[in-house]
C-alpha cells in the first residue's frame, strides 16, 4: 500500500511540474530576453523595458529606414535661447545630451536613441528665443532660403497664431493621413479638440512633449500651518468634494496674521493666506469651469469671456482674492521664488503650476501639500486644472519641410515612445515618486492630472499686448486694485473681435 501511495504522489508531482512549465510559457517577458530603449532587440521590434510590446497599442506606421545619417532637426522655444532659463524648461523635450544623466534626460535620450536606430535618422535640436520672436524668424528664414532643414518646431502655446497666420506650418490633418493618429492616447486629446480649426490641425500637444504636464495649475499648501490653525485635513475635504472657492477664502482669512507687531500685512515677516503670481486669476477662473473661449461644434472659435456671467466671475475673483489683504502678489512683495515666503513657511497657499514643485519647492524643509484648484461650489462636477499657455508647449511641422512623410513618421514614433517610456518616468517616477511627499499628495497629483483643461480663448487670443497678456490685460490687473473687468473688456473688445474674425475667416479659407 505504501508503494502505491508513493507512486501516486510521484505522478502528481510530475503533473504539477508540467502544469507550472506550461503556465510559465504564457508569461510575456522572461529574464532571458530583456529589451531596453538603448539597445532594442531588432529594428522591427519596438519593445522597451517598462511596457512590454504585447501590452501596447500597435503603432501603425510604414516600415521605413532612412539610412542612418538623415537629419531630423527640431527648433525648440525658450525665453532666452538657452535650455534652462529660470526654470522655464526644467526638462528636455526634443533632444537630451547623454552626458547629463539625470532622470528625465536619460529617458528622453533613450527614446531618441531608439527611434534613431529603428528609423535610421539623426535627431538634432536647437533652442531659439521665443520672446524676441526669433523662433518665428528662424522658421521663416529656413523656408525662404530653401534649406528645409527644420522638420519640427515647438512654440509657447500663446504664440500659436503667429505661426499659423503666416503660413509657416503644415496642416497635420492633411499631410498626416494614415501617419498621425490623433485619436490615440499619445496625442493629448483635449489639446486636439482645442487646437483643431475647422478640419485642420496646425499645432498640437503630444506625448513627445513634457511641458504641458509641468504647465498644469495646482494649489500647494503648508500642512503645518493648516494644522496649527485648525483647518482640518484638506485632503479629506478634497476627496469629499468640499474643497471649494469659499473654503479657500475662509482658510486664508483664518490664517492671515501680522507677526511684526504693526497689525498690518505688509512684509515678509507676516503670515499670509496666499502668496502667488498674477496667474492665480486665470487658474481660479478655469477651476470654476469658466473659459475665455471654445471651439464650437462647427469648428469655429467662439469667444465666451464676455458672455453670461464670466465677466462677473472674474471681477469677483479679483475682489475676493487678488485684492484681499491676505494675498501677497509676487510683483509687489517679491515673495515668490528663491528665498521667497511660501518656501519659508510664511503662507498657507501657493497657487502655481506643477513644475514649481520641481523648480522652487523641492528644498522646502516643511514638506508641502498639494491640491487641485478649488471648485466654484459643491454642485460643480469635479475639479478643473488649467494647462497654462505661458508655460505650455505645442508642436508643428514647417510647411517647407523637404519630406513631410518622414517628418510625420518620426513625430508619431517619438510621441508613441514618449507615451510609453518618457511620460511615465515624469509622472510615475518623478512627480508621484519624488515630488509627492505623501500618499495623499500623490493621490492629489493624480486628481490634478485627471482634471486638466485647455482654454481655446487664451491661446488663440494671447498675442502681446492684448486681453489675455500684456500690461493692460486681465493678467496684469492685480497691482491696480481698482480694475473693473467690464472696462478691461471694453479696452480690448475691438482687437479681440478682430482676432476672432481673423481666425474664423482663416478656417473658412482652408476648409
pLDDT in tens, the chain (511 residues): 343 334 333 433 333 333 333 333 333 333 333 333 333 333 333 334 455 666 899 999 999 999 998 999 999 998 888 876 667 888 888 888 888 888 999 999 999 999 999 999 999 999 998 887 888 899 988 877 766 689 999 999 988 898 999 999 999 999 999 999 999 999 999 999 999 999 999 999 999 999 999 999 999 999 999 999 999 999 999 999 999 999 999 999 999 988 777 777 766 678 889 988 788 999 999 999 999 999 999 999 999 999 879 999 999 999 999 999 899 876 444 544 444 578 888 899 999 999 989 888 887 888 899 999 999 999 999 999 999 998 999 999 999 998 999 999 999 999 999 999 999 999 999 999 999 989 999 999 999 999 999 999 998 887 667 888 877 889 888 777 777 899 999 989 999 999 999 999 999 998 8
Using CA atoms, how far apart are residues 388 and 84, in angstroms rounded to an integer? 19
Cβ neighbours, 10 Å, residue 79? 17
Residue among 94, 91, 156 at smallest CA distance from 130 = 156
Using CA atoms, how far apart are residues 190 and 187, in angstroms rounded to an integer? 9
Residue listed under C-alpha cell 500642512: 223
Cβ neighbours, 10 Å, residue 203? 24
Give me the sheet containing 347-353, strands edge to edge.
327-329, 272-276, 347-353, 217-221, 369-371
C-alpha angle 47-151-74 in degrees, rounded to nearest 5: 80
Which pTM value belongs to this model?
Answer: 0.86
Taking every pair of Cα atoms in the chain, the longest distance, rounded to a whole number of angstroms, is 102
Using CA atoms, how far apart are residues 202 and 237, in angstroms rounded to an integer? 41
CB 282 within 8 A of CB 292: no
pLDDT tens, position by position, 415-445: 999 999 999 999 999 999 999 989 999 999 9
CB 368 within 8 A of CB 437: yes
Using CA atoms, how far apart are residues 263 and 329, in angstroms rounded to an integer? 19
C-alpha angle 113-116-121 in degrees, rounded to nearest 5: 150
Residue among 213, 212, 218, 455 at smallest CA distance from 352 = 218
Q: Over the chain, what is the mean pLDDT?
A: 85
Using CA atoms, how far apart are residues 394 and 411, in angstroms rounded to an integer? 13
CB 43 within 8 A of CB 117: yes
- CA 504, chain centre distance (Å): 27
pLDDT tens, position by position, 14-45: 333 333 333 333 333 333 333 333 333 333 33
Pairing of strands 301-303, 327-329: unpaired
Buried b (16+ CB within 10 A) or exposed e, 493-504: eeebeebbeebb
Using CA atoms, how far apart are residues 177 and 250, in angstroms rounded to an integer? 53
3-state helix, strand, coil in the chain (%, to 5): 40, 15, 45
Q: Given this model, what pLDDT does residue 88 score?
A: 80
**DSSP 8-state symbol, 373:** P
Using CA atoms, how far apart are residues 285 and 287, in angstroms rounded to an integer? 5
Query: Which residues are bridge partners to 217 per DSSP?
Result: 353
Dihedrals phi, psi of 462, to nearest 5 degrees: -110, 5
Amino acid at each position: 500500500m505504501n508503494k502505491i501511495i508513493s507512486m501516486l504522489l510521484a505522478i502528481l508531482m510530475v503533473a504539477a511540474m508540467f502544469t507550472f512549465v506550461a503556465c510559465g510559457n504564457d508569461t510575456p517577458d522572461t529574464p532571458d530576453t530583456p529589451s531596453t530603449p538603448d539597445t532594442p532587440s531588432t529594428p522591427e521590434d519596438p519593445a522597451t523595458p517598462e511596457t512590454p510590446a504585447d501590452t501596447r497599442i500597435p503603432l501603425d506606421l510604414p516600415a521605413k529606414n532612412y539610412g542612418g545619417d538623415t537629419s531630423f532637426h527640431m527648433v525648440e522655444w525658450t525665453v532666452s535661447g538657452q535650455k534652462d532659463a529660470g526654470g522655464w524648461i526644467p526638462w528636455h523635450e526634443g533632444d537630451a545630451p547623454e552626458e547629463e544623466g539625470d532622470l528625465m534626460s536619460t529617458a528622453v535620450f533613450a527614446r531618441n536613441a531608439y527611434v534613431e536606430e529603428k528609423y535610421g535618422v539623426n535627431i538634432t535640436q536647437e533652442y531659439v528665443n521665443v520672446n524676441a520672436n526669433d523662433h518665428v524668424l528662424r522658421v521663416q528664414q529656413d523656408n525662404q532660403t530653401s534649406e528645409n532643414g527644420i522638420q519640427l518646431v515647438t512654440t509657447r502655446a500663446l504664440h500659436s497664431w503667429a505661426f499659423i497666420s503666416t503660413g509657416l506650418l503644415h496642416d497635420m490633418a492633411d499631410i498626416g493621413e494614415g501617419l498621425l493618429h490623433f485619436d490615440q492616447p499619445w496625442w493629448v486629446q483635449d489639446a486636439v479638440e482645442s487646437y483643431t480649426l475647422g478640419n485642420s490641425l496646425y499645432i498640437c500637444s503630444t506625448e513627445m512633449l513634457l511641458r504641458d504636464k509641468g504647465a498644469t495649475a495646482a494649489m500647494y499648501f503648508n500642512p503645518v500651518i493648516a494644522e496649527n490653525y485648525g483647518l482640518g485635513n484638506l485632503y479629506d475635504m478634497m476627496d469629499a468634494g468640499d474643497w471649494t472657492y469659499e473654503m479657500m477664502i475662509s482658510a486664508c482669512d483664518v490664517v492671515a496674521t501680522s507677526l511684526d507687531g504693526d497689525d498690518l500685512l505688509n512684509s515678509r515677516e507676516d503670515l499670509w493666506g496666499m502668496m502667488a503670481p498674477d496667474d492665480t486669476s486665470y487658474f481660479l477662473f478655469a477651476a470654476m469651469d469658466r473659459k475665455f473661449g471654445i471651439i464650437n461644434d462647427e469648428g469655429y472659435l467662439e469667444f465666451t469671456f464676455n458672455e453670461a456671467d464670466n465677466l462677473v466671475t472674474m471681477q469677483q475673483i479679483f475682489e475676493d482674492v487678488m485684492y484681499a489683504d491676505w494675498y501677497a502678489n509676487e510683483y509687489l512683495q517679491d515673495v515668490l521664488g528663491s528665498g521667497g515666503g511660501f518656501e519659508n513657511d510664511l503662507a498657507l497657499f501657493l497657487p502655481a503650476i506643477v513644475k514649481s514643485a520641481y523648480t522652487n519647492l523641492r528644498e522646502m524643509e516643511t514638506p508641502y501639500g498639494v491640491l487641485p484648484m478649488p471648485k466654484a461650489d459643491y454642485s460643480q462636477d469635479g475639479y478643473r486644472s488649467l494647462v497654462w499657455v505661458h508655460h505650455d508647449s505645442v508642436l508643428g511641422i514647417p510647411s517647407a519641410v523637404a519630406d513631410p512623410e518622414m517628418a510625420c513618421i518620426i513625430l508619431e514614433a517619438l510621441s508613441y515612445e514618449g507615451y510609453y517610456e518618457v511620460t511615465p518616468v515624469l509622472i510615475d517616477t518623478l512627480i508621484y515618486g519624488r515630488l509627492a511627499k505623501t500618499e495623499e499628495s500623490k493621490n492629489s497629483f493624480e486628481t490634478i492630472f485627471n482634471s486638466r483643461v485647455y482654454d481655446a480663448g487664451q491661446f488663440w487670443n494671447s498675442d502681446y499686448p492684448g486681453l489675455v497678456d500684456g500690461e493692460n490685460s486681465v493678467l496684469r490687473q492685480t497691482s491696480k486694485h481698482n480694475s473693473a473687468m467690464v472696462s478691461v473688456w471694453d479696452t480690448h473688445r475691438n482687437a479681440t473681435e478682430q482676432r476672432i474674425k481673423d481666425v474664423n475667416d482663416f478656417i473658412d479659407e482652408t476648409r
